[in-house]
Structure 1
Amino acid sequence: MIIDIVPGYAGADANIEEYRPDAEKIISGDPAQWARTDYITETGNGTFDGGEWRSQPGKYKVSFSGPEYCEILEGESIVTDLEGNAKTVRAGDRFIVPAGFEGTWEVTIPCRKIFICFTL
């Protein structure tokens, strides 16, 4: 691959998706979400992609089939596993959600993050 064709991380707004989690996953609030995929490629085992995500306040169930790197740019969220262990993440925090993670994601202050994930 020639480095000239590797996409930058300030992608065009053409790849924007606006959505909400499925109704049965929403616990509270109205977590309207927005995602822009800047890079996506199919692998032999799944999809590798990255971009920017935003969400309004709300709490909903999550399940990650593959690992995801997150960098919070704005806002605050509380990520809680099925055992009740919680981690509050804020602007400037960087972390990885492991493959197989299940729990809840609660956006307490409108949140914006950069993500890089591998989806099985």
Structure 2
Amino acid sequence: MSIASIVDFAQHSVTPERYRPAPEKILSGDPEQTVFNHYGSPCGQMNAGVWEGEVGQWTVNYTEHEYCEIVQGVSVLRDEQGNSKTLRAGDRFVIPAGFSGTWEVLEACRKIYVIFESTPTTPPVGAA
């Protein structure tokens, strides 16, 4: 494998995927989201890229392990017991598979993500 196989987010062009959570998951606002998936492993278990979210709140149920680094904005992650963690630019964390709760964007948010699915899936659209 050569250096040409390295995926540099700054130089790798991808088609953005815009979406909203399913209507039954939205708790407030109009949380439009955009994903720039720069890398998808051939087995479909790992993805990495940039996520952007608009103001709103929705329920989350993680089947994947996700490393996140907030690069812009403010969000609040809450578990099912009501405990919360405010996430700001510079914060780095992992959300383990099995986490359930809510994600709320207070100020338009941007994060770098690396996702690992414990079971293989079909690689997403735009995966490298």
| TM-score (norm. length: structure 2) | 0.86
**Larger strand percent:** 1
Q: Which residue of 1 aligns with 2:59?
A: 61
Structure 1 counterpart SS, 2:74? strand
C-alpha contact 1:67 1:98 (8 A) present in aligned 2: yes
Please state how far the C-alpha of 1:9 moved relative to its aligned partner. 2.1
Amino acid of the residue matched to residue 58 of structure 2?
Answer: Y
Amino acid of the residue matched to residue 35 of structure 1?
Answer: V
Q: Which residue of 2 aligns with 1:71?
A: 69
| TM-score (norm. length: structure 1) | 0.91
Identity of matched residues, %: 45
CA RMSD across the alignment:
1.2
Give CA deviations for 1:68-94 in whole Å, capped at 9, x if unaligned: 000000000000011111000001100
Q: Which runs of 5+ in 2 are unaligned?
A: 120-128
- Number of corresponding residues: 117
Q: Work out whether 1:15 is the aligned partner of 2:29.
A: no
Runs (4 or more) in structure 1 with deviation over 3 Å come to none
Q: Which runs of 5+ in 1 are unaligned?
A: none
Q: Distance in 2 between matches of 1:100 and 1:16?
A: 27
C-alpha contact 1:15 1:38 (8 A) present in aligned 2: no
Q: Which residue of 2 aligns with 1:82?
A: 80
Give CA deviations for 1:96-115 in whole Å, capped at 9, x if unaligned: 00111110000001000000
Amino acid of the residue matched to residue 5 of structure 1?
Answer: S
